[in-house]
Amino acid sequence: MNPETTLGEGERRRRRRRSSSTSSAFASPSPRASSGRRGAAPDRWAPLAWLVAAPCLLLALYLAAIHPLGAGWAVPAVLLVALLARYFWTTWPGWMLALVPLIGLAPWTGWLWLEEWDLLVLASAAGGYAAWAGPHRHTPPPVQAVWRRALRWRASAVALMVLAAAATALSVFIGVTDAGGLDLYVYQGYWESGQALRAGKPVLALLLMLPLWHRAATRAPQTLTPALGVGLCGVLLVVSLGALWERLAFTGFSNFSTDYRTTSVFWEMHVGGAALDGALALSLPFGLLALLRARGRLGFAWAMGLLLLGLYALITTFSRGLYLAAALALPLTLALWMRQQSRAQAAPAPAPGAVWPAAPAQALMPPGRSLFGLGLLVALGAAVAWQMFPNSGYRGLLAVSGAMVALMLQPVGHAGGDRRERLLGWGLGLVMAVPLVGLGALLATWVNKLAYGLYALAWLLSVVLARAAWSGRHPWRTPLGDSLRAMAWLTTVGLAGVVAWNWGGMPAVERAWLPLLVLSLAWPLSQGGSVGQVLGQLGWRPRMLAVGAMLGASAIVAALAGGSYIAERSSTVSQDLDGRFAHWSRGLAMADVAGGEWIGVGAGRYLPHFANNAPVEERIGDVRFLGGTPPRVALSAGRHTLGWGEMLRLTQRVNDAPPGLRLRVLVRNPLQLKLLGEVCERHLIYTEACRTRQAELPASEGFRWVTLELGGNGELGQRGWPKRGLALSLAVETPSTKVEIAGVSLQGSDGRELLKNGGFEDGMAHWFFSSDRHHLPWHAKSLPLHWYFEQGGIGLVLSLGLWALALGRVSWGNAAGHPLAPALAGALLGFMLVGLFDSLVDGARLAFLYGTLVCLGLGLRTPPPPAVPVPPPPEPASA
């Protein structure tokens, strides 16, 4: 045997082994591989996992047992979460993220520094570490090689994370000390040490979850990444549905003029803040990525609906900072995804079962000319809708949007590049459409609202004819078929004008006829020529993306032209920025005076320092449990101007408001004051219909009952679906006065008690507080300033360093090729842009979600490239 031939064959065998191992990277383990190797080394950390699982479970069960709403549901919920985390340990660390914004019940429980998400994290950690410790019915998947892991932190990133955690721990210690020492009483306000502990909980939660994410990534990377994507899309779904529910209940779907800022599921906004803005900034890029990577039609439709729902929630926040963040973060996500796709086109196909399933061929970016053509159609439709909206309203807007959707579903005409034939087909269609539109207008004058039905029939006919033309059957792919499709679509456009006339009369027609005539010229543009031919090569995916863009543009037109609140907010940008600069200057001065330049003033101490250092005329009110016999609560008013929205309210949720409401309050007030009592339809910080009474209370050293007859006929909360929430509120209307409350009773004419814990025997259980409008004293209103105030210059540098390093890795660093990288980059950029104008992480749930994305950005890795198959060796030459 020839030695050189033998050596070449051995080299080829080694190359095949390397190729095989590379192609299986991030692949789903086979059943044989999943069972592990016989004699494999045991996990050295498994025996220690029980030392974490047991305390987490016991603490979660204890908190569930003392939950104000009862242990009957809290304890089973904790056990269920622990079981899910135990048996779905590869996916639950991602899925659980969707529940974080959902479970915030402070308005019903009275918990502020303790929250339901604490139970979620503790139960998830208990189940995850129990899965780690075993025993196992099936041996877990083996540990993957280092270069095959989806999540791995470098030593420099770990060091930076440890330093940041240490800075947070020091800030918590300083905050607890500044508050007078550690106090673990569950019902604490913003002045006690519980707020310092609240600021440290997200870091502790991350420390519990990071080893579980790492274990899932090292043993089952093909499941963790999709689970994280699903969990973060779930965050978007939860907060958007909460916003939609609130809008439907209190303002209506299309009311963009009322001064109402949505809070969704975030009770943290009871004293202002931008928790909803931050959550949308974090999750919207994942909704966009889900749409771009959707594989089937059902998944695409779900992702499209999710993204449009998120865009509606974004618009209805009326947050200028969030608008800016979305305008920069979503294009960044799209650009990074396009870069991934361009690289994927030049690379071999990924291995089956990769970390995230490969996007289908139609998901690859279409040529630039196609994007230009689709963008031109969307812009044309949006311009026509904008021009018609003032007189045609939402009906005209929907009619134009529907016509554009029908146009985007049309195939290229039979004439193709022949301009004369295309214009002839358009002209024949117009000749046939004009009498049909005229007949429709005549019928609409006789039968009220018939215009909508006729428009729907024309639209449906246009879509059906488009479907027939796509089939390629005779006679639909002939000049006659093209003329019939043109007739149907132009009839749809003409009946859009009839819909506008039916709603707005002749002024609507006078404003609509020219834009609709221009719109009709889009037919020959899309049916051939340079633009039409390129559009004709597109599959259903980019066309449906254009449909979604058209619907999104319609929503923007509705918000801008259909309401005045956005315009009002835009007109006060300069004034509001001046106020923010003054507020930030005061915050910096407070930190410097308190000696916190390097290590900070302490976690959770912004409000007390602001209240103690503010000018006398700006001191704020407070709600505090005093205890004693009888147990009582002190409710004080601030020294600032006390308008309807500036008062600090003590609240409790009630289930109903029967007729003949009577409110009785056991009070003691050293100074004369005016007490306000009300039962209102309320979601969190804005009231709608109310039953209100005021009482003048002379000064008194002893407790006495005060009765306020609220009356009513049971009309509150009877609006229908979705039902509005109800809340009792008490407030002091006289500045710089205080009342002590030892008992509250709310009854209807039937004598049934509507309140829980009215005598405060259980502390502040079921009691809450809010301020509708006076929010600046409660927040630093800047994320960098918040970090500087609580953790000093050292903490600010570490926090910004973590953010910048994570953003750099997922944008152009080692993680840029990871499937989640485009959305992570958009989320981190958007969150920081919103954070320039609000302090976001003073809410623990949002801080945990943000910290999760930062940790993922620091640890995710680009999957290894797919293997290039080695060609078989040539046959040896015959002698």
**Residue at which a domain ends, from 118, 140, 162:** 140
771 touches 271 (CB < 8 A):
yes
Tell me, yes or no, whether 627 and 509 share the same domain. no
In whole angstroms, how far apart are CA 28 and each of 24, 211, 357, 535, 839?
A: 8, 21, 11, 38, 41
pTM for the predicted model, two decimal places = 0.88
In this structure, the answer to whether residues 518 and 397 fall within a common structural domain is yes
Pair (646, 524) in one structural domain: no
Query: What's the CA gap between 464 and 458, in Å, rounded?
Result: 10
CA 145/CA 218 separation, integer angstroms:
8
Report yes or no on 353 lying in a domain: no
Reduced 3-state DSSP string for 705-732: EEEEEEECCCCCCCCCCCCCCEEEEEEE
**Does residue 595 sit within a domain?**
no
Q: What are phi and psi of 203, to 5 degrees?
A: -65, -45
Structure tokens at 846: 């949002």
Supply the pLDDT for residue 137. Answer: 67
CB atoms within 10 A of CB 276: 29
Classify residue 277: in a domain, yes or no: no
pLDDT at residue 677, as a whole number: 97
Give the Å distances, CA to CA, from 113 to 202, 653, 843: 12, 19, 10
Instruction: Please write the tens of the pLDDT for every residue from 571-602.
Output: 888 898 999 999 999 999 998 876 778 999 99
Distance of CA 518 to the CA centre of its chain: 38
CA 245 remoteness from chain centre? 14
Distance from C-alpha of 756 to C-alpha of 736, rounded to nearest angstrom: 29
Residue holding tokens 């009326």?
A: 318
Tokens for 679?
Answer: 């039962």
Residues 6+ away with beta carbon under 8 Å from 608: 178, 179, 190, 191
**Do residues 641 and 523 both lie within one domain?**
no
Cα(322)–Cα(835) distance, integer angstroms:
9
Q: CA-to-CA distance for 268 and 279, rounded, in angstroms? A: 12
* Domain co-membership, 532 together with 627: no
502 contact partners, CB below 8 Å, separation of at least 6: 395, 444, 449, 451, 452
Cβ neighbours for 150, distance < 8 A, ≥ 6 positions apart: 26, 217, 221, 224, 225, 355, 818, 860, 861, 863
Q: How many angstroms from the chain centroid is the CA of residue 283?
A: 5
Which of 74, 105, 140 marks a domain boundary?
140
Helix (H, G, I), strand (E, B) or coil at 866: coil
One-letter amino acid of 301: A
Two structure tokens written together for 87: 């048996």
**Would you state the structure tokens that stand for residue 39, as one six-digit string?**
């004699």
| Radius of gyration of the chain, Cα coordinates, nearest whole angstrom | 32
User: Is residue 92 situated within a structural domain?
Assistant: yes
663 forms bridges with which residues in the sheet?
Answer: 708, 746
789, 606 contact by CB (below 8 A) = yes
Angstrom distance (rounded) from CA 833 to CA 827: 10
Which residues fall within 8 angstroms of residue 91, CB to CB, at 6 or more apart?
A: 216, 223, 224, 226, 227
767 and 630 in a common domain: yes
Looking at the DSSP bridge assignments, the partners of residue 627 are 632
Element of type H or E holding 739: strand 738-747
d(CA 511, CA 785): 50
Q: What is the pLDDT of residue 6?
A: 40
Q: Are residues 516 and 650 in the same domain?
A: no
Same domain, 387 and 529: yes
Number of residues assigned to the chain: 879
Decide: helix, strand or coil at residue 620: coil
d(CA 221, CA 90): 8
Domain, as residue range, for 520? 367-537
Q: What is the pLDDT of residue 47?
A: 79
Q: Which runs of consecutive H residues, i.e. helices, occur in 472-614?
A: 479-520, 522-526, 529-536, 540-561, 565-571, 573-593, 606-613
User: How would you classify residue 769: left for phi > 0, otherwise alpha for psi between -120 and 50, otherwise beta?
Assistant: beta
Determine the pLDDT at residue 28.
Answer: 35
Measured CA to CA, the distance from residue 11 to residue 127 in angstroms comes to: 47
Q: Is 639 helix (H, G, I), strand (E, B) or coil?
A: coil
- What does the block give as tokens for 264? 């969704």
- Asked whether residue 244 is domain-assigned, the answer is no
Q: Across-strand partners of 679?
A: 691, 728
Report the number of distinct structural domains present in the chain: 3
If DSSP codes are grouped into helix, strand and coil, which group holds residue 514?
A: helix
Task: Give the whole-angstrom CA distance, residue 229 versus residue 707.
Answer: 54
Q: Within this chain, do residues 640 and 757 fall inside the same structural domain, yes or no? A: yes
Q: Coil, strand or helix: which one is 654?
A: strand
Whole-Å CA distances, 783 to 10, 60, 101: 60, 31, 20
> How far is it, in rounded angstroms, from Cα 212 to Cα 218?
10
Is 584 inside a domain boundary?
A: no
CA gap 548, 318 in Å, rounded: 21
Which residues of the chain fall short of a pLDDT of 50? 1-41, 350-365, 867-868, 878-879
pLDDT score of 729: 97
Q: Which of 794, 774, 764, 784 is nearest to 607 (CA)?
A: 774
* Structure token digits, residue 188: 């604490």
Neighbour count for residue 145 (Cβ, 10 Å): 10
Q: Which residues contact 735 (CB under 8 A, 6 or more apart)?
A: 637, 638, 639, 640, 641, 642
Question: What three-state secondary structure class fits 482?
Answer: helix
Q: Read off the DSSP letter of residue 111.
A: -
End residue of a domain, out of 740, 773, 806: 773
d(CA 599, CA 602) in angstroms, rounded, equals 8
Residue corresponding to tokens 């315009």:
567
Q: For 449, phi and psi rounded to 5 degrees?
A: 65, 10
Cα-based torsion angle of the residue sequence 194, 199, 205, 210 in order, rounded to the nearest 10 degrees: -160
Residue 21 pLDDT:
37
CA angle at residue 94 from 784 to 303, to 5 degrees?
A: 90
135 occurs within a structural domain: yes
Query: Which tens digits make up the pLDDT trace of 212-252?
Result: 999 998 888 888 889 999 999 999 999 999 999 999 999 98
The 10 Å Cβ neighbour count of residue 295 is: 14
- Joined together, the tokens standing for residue 125 give 């950690």
Helices 479-520 and 450-471: angle between axes, nearest 10 degrees: 130
Residue where the block lists tokens 């000319």: 369
Task: Indicate whether 113 belongs to any domain.
Answer: yes
List the alpha helices (DSSP H) in 263-296.
275-293
Are 383 and 532 within one domain? Answer: yes
> Which DSSP string corresponds to 377-421?
HHHHHHHHHHHHHHHHHHHHHHHHHHHHHHHHTPPPPTTTT-HHH
621, 734 Cβ separation under 8 angstroms? no
Q: Which pair of tokens denotes residue 491?
A: 């009839």
